[in-house]
């Protein structure tokens, strides 16, 4: 970019008619054939899920906490000096704490995922002048067939928010 050139405008700053022309979208949306061609060209429009740590790794990560390390050192010293009762008590408390923490984190992640699915938006796209569901039959596959550019809307509880779908890979 030269000092005298203007930065390229953001998509929301471009007039709607110009944006539709640039994206190859019309007022009637994409034709089924064009949507299928874009699906073949770009692949399915799915969100990449974050891959979490496995349960054993989550459990072992609890032992990186400095307080847990100090308690384990105290348990080791107690065991080394022959104080078997203190060794068993400290070790049991640390182990129970790590197990409970891991289980609670696992349950919280599951609850958050269920909540995310329960409040998911239903997206409609305009194909051949008809609104169709962007993810027929499955919330897990949302946005799969909503290839841009196209006219789309999001609905939640009867409210509608129309717009132009611009992303090629994300909802």
144, pLDDT greater than 70: no
Q: How confident is the model at residue 97 (pLDDT cuts 50, 70, 90)?
A: very high
| pLDDT score recorded for residue 162 | 47
Tokens 């061609």 belong to 37
125, pLDDT greater than 50: yes
| pLDDT score recorded for residue 53 | 83
Q: Is the pTM of this model over 0.85?
A: no
Q: How confident is the model at residue 45 (pLDDT cuts 50, 70, 90)?
A: low
Q: How confident is the model at residue 106 (pLDDT cuts 50, 70, 90)?
A: very high
149, pLDDT greater than 60: no
127 strand-pairing partners: 30, 130
Cβ neighbours for 164, distance < 8 A, ≥ 6 positions apart:
16, 19, 20, 23, 25, 148, 149, 150, 151, 152
| pLDDT score recorded for residue 121 | 60
Lowest mean pLDDT among 16-20, 79-83, 120-124, 165-169: 165-169
* Residue-averaged pLDDT of the chain: 75
Note the pLDDT tens digit of each residue in 1-44.
Answer: 556 677 888 878 888 788 777 777 777 777 778 778 888 887 77
For 131, the token pair is 């609104």
Cβ neighbours, 10 Å, residue 66: 7
Q: Which H helix or E strand runs over 21? A: helix 16-23
Q: Taking Cα atoms as reference points, which of 27, 26, 45, 48 lies closest to residue 36?
A: 45
| DSSP, residue by residue, 29-59 | -B-HHHHHHHHHHH----PPPPPPPPHHHHH
């Amino acid at each position: 970019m030269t000092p005298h050139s203007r930065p390229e405008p953001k998509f929301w700053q471009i007039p709607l008619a110009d944006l539709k022309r640039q994206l190859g979208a019309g007022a009637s949306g994409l034709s089924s054939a064009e949507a299928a061609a874009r699906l073949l060209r770009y692949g399915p429009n799915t969100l990449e899920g974050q891959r979490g740590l496995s349960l054993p790794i989550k459990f072992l990560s609890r032992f990186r906490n400095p307080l847990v390390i100090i308690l384990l050192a105290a348990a080791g010293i107690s065991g080394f000096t022959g104080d078997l009762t203190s060794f068993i008590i400290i070790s049991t408390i640390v182990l129970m704490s790590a197990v409970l923490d891991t289980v609670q984190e696992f349950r919280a992640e599951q609850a958050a995922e269920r909540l995310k699915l329960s409040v998911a938006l239903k997206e409609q796209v305009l194909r051949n002048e008809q609104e169709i569901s962007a993810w027929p039959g499955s919330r897990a596959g949302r946005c799969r067939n909503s290839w841009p550019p196209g006219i789309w809307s999001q609905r939640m509880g009867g409210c509608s928010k129309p717009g132009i779908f611009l992303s090629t890979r994300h909802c």
